[in-house]
Amino acid sequence: MTQFTFCTLKYIIKSGDHAMKAVQVVAFGHAAEVVKLNEVPDVGSPGPNEVVVAVEAAPINNSDFMIIAGRYGYLPSPPATLGIEGVGRVVAAGAQVRNLKEGDRTLIPFTVPTWTERVKFTASWQRPLPDNADVRQLSMIAVNPATAYLLLTDFVKIPRGGWVIQNGANSATARAVIAIAKSLELKTVNIVRREEVVDEVKAIGGDVVLVDGPGLAKRVANETGGAPILLALDVVGGTSTLNLMNCLAPKAVLVIYSAMSGQPFSGSALSVIFNEVSVRGFWLGHWGRTATDEALARMYDHLVPMVASGAISAPVLGSYRLEDFSQAIAQAAPFKGKVIFTPG
C-alpha cells in the first residue's frame, strides 16, 4: 500500500460522512443579516490528482464584503461559503499527487472558498510552504501580494531604477507593491490621504511619501528630480485618480484595481489625448482564469520567500474561530488592518 493511499484511507476513516462548519452568505445584503455559520457536507476523500486540506488561516478581504453586498465581479449562488484565499495542512493526497504530501502546508487556490474547516482541490502548481513562517501572513499571499506583483510586471516594462506611483499607499496591496518594487529594483512614490501615516509608509520602505491634494504633480516632480513615471496604480478612485494621472509621463499607463473611496474616478482627457496616457483595469479573477501553472508557480516562487522573511507583511488586527464570525467581520469592516479566521 502506497503512502498516498494510506493517507487517503486514514482521512476517510477520520472524516467519514460528517458535516463541517462554514461561514456562508445566505443572501446578498448587510453582513450582519446575511452571513451565517452553517453546517455543510464534508469534502470527502481526494481524487487521484486532488488534496484535502485542513484550513489553518483565511483572511477577510474587501472582496468578501463586496460579495456579501452583491457588488462583486463574480457572485456565487447563496448559500455559498465565503473566503477567497488561505493556507492549510494537507490531510490526504490522491495517488497521483507528487508535489504535496500529507502534513505539508500549502496555499489554497483563490478559486476555492476558505472560510470553512476543510477544502479539496486539484494539486497543480502548489508547493510546500515553509513551516517557520507566520501562518497568518502566508494566508494573505494569494490576493494582495499577487495583485501587487502583477501590477508591477504585467503592464509596463519599467527599467531598473525607474519610478512607480501609487495611491492608498498604506493599504495591504500597496505595502506589497513597495516591497516587490524594491525586489525588482524600482522606486515608489506613495500617496496617502492622511499626514499621520506618512512616517509609517516611509518606515516600510516607501522612497517618496506625500499626502494627496492640490499641486501633487509639482510636489512629486520636486521629490523625484522630474524623473519620468511610466506606471500609476490607483486603488482609491475619485479625484485621486486625476492627481495620479497628472504625474505621469507621455505614453504611461494608469491601472485601476479598486475604488476604495466609492467614488467614480476622475481623469484628464488632455492627458489621454495629447500625452497618450492609457487607463487600464485589473482584476485578479480575470487573470486567474487564464493563468498557466507555470505563471502561477513563477509568481509564488517570487512572493513566498518575501512573505516568509517578513519583507512583505500586512498588519493583523486579530484572529477568530469560525464560530466568532460576527465579531471578526465587525472588526474587519473599517479596513484598519487584516482579520484572520483560524478554523483549527
Tell me the pLDDT tens digit for each residue of 129-165.
Answer: 999 999 999 999 999 999 999 999 999 999 999 999 9
More confident call, 3 vs 307:
307
3-state helix, strand, coil in the chain (%, to 5): 35, 25, 40
Burial letters 149-182, b for 16+ CB under 10 A, else e:
bbbbeebbebeeebbbbbbbbbbbbbbbbbbbbb
CA distances from 168 to 24, 172, 248, 267, 312 (A): 30, 9, 17, 17, 17
Residues forming beta bridges with residue 341, ordered by sequence position? 58, 320
Q: Which helix H or strand E contains 327, and what residues bound it? A: helix 325-332
Query: Does residue 229 sit in helix, strand or coil?
Result: strand
Residue tagged 482521512 (cell numbers): 11
Query: Does residue 290 sit in helix, strand or coil?
Result: helix
Count CA within 13 A, CB hemisphere, residue 168.
25
The three grid cell numbers given for residue 155, joined into one nine-digit string: 503592464
pLDDT for 18 equals 75
pLDDT for 6 equals 43
Confidence tier at 9 by pLDDT (50, 70, 90):
very low
Q: Considering the chain, what is the average pLDDT of its residues?
A: 92
Asked if pLDDT for residue 184 goes beyond 50, the answer is yes
Sequence-distant (6+) residues with CB within 8 A of 281 are: 255, 256, 257
C-alpha 342/C-alpha 324 separation (Å) is 10
The three grid cell numbers given for residue 106, joined into one nine-digit string: 500549502
Burial letters 64-84, b for 16+ CB under 10 A, else e:
bbebbeeebeeeeeeeebbbb
Label the pairing between strands 50-59 and 118-122: antiparallel
Exactly one of 11, 72, 300, 320 is catalytic; name it: 72
Q: Which helix H or strand E contains 278, and what residues bound it? A: strand 278-281
Residue 74: DSSP 8-state: S
pLDDT for 13 equals 43
Tell me the pLDDT tens digit for each residue of 81-92.
Answer: 999 999 999 999
In the chain, the amino acid numbered 131 is D
Task: Judge whether 257 counts as a catalytic residue.
Answer: no
pLDDT for 258 equals 86
Judge contact between 205 and 184, C-beta under 8 A: no
Q: In terms of C-beta density within 10 A (0-12 exposed, 13-18 middle, 19 or more buried), how is residue 261 classed? A: middle
First to last CA, the chain: 30
2-11, 204-213, 310-319: least confident range: 2-11
- Section 119-127 average pLDDT: 94
The three grid cell numbers given for residue 74, joined into one nine-digit string: 463574480
Residues forming beta bridges with residue 25, ordered by sequence position? 35, 80
Task: Phi first, then psi: give them for residue 318, nearest 5 degrees.
Answer: 180, 165
Q: Which helix H or strand E contains 190, and what residues bound it? A: strand 187-192
**Percent of the chain residues topping a pLDDT of 70:** 95
Q: What is the DSSP code string of 106-129?
A: EEEPTTS--SBSEEEEE-SS--PP
Contacts 24+ apart (CB under 8 A), 32-35: 32/326, 32/329, 32/330, 34/68, 34/78, 35/68, 35/82, 35/325, 35/326, 35/329
SS (H, E, C) 235-249: CCCCHHHHHHHCCCC
Query: Does residue 170 sit in helix, strand or coil?
Result: coil
Single pTM value for the model:
0.90
Residues forming beta bridges with residue 255, ordered by sequence position? 233, 280
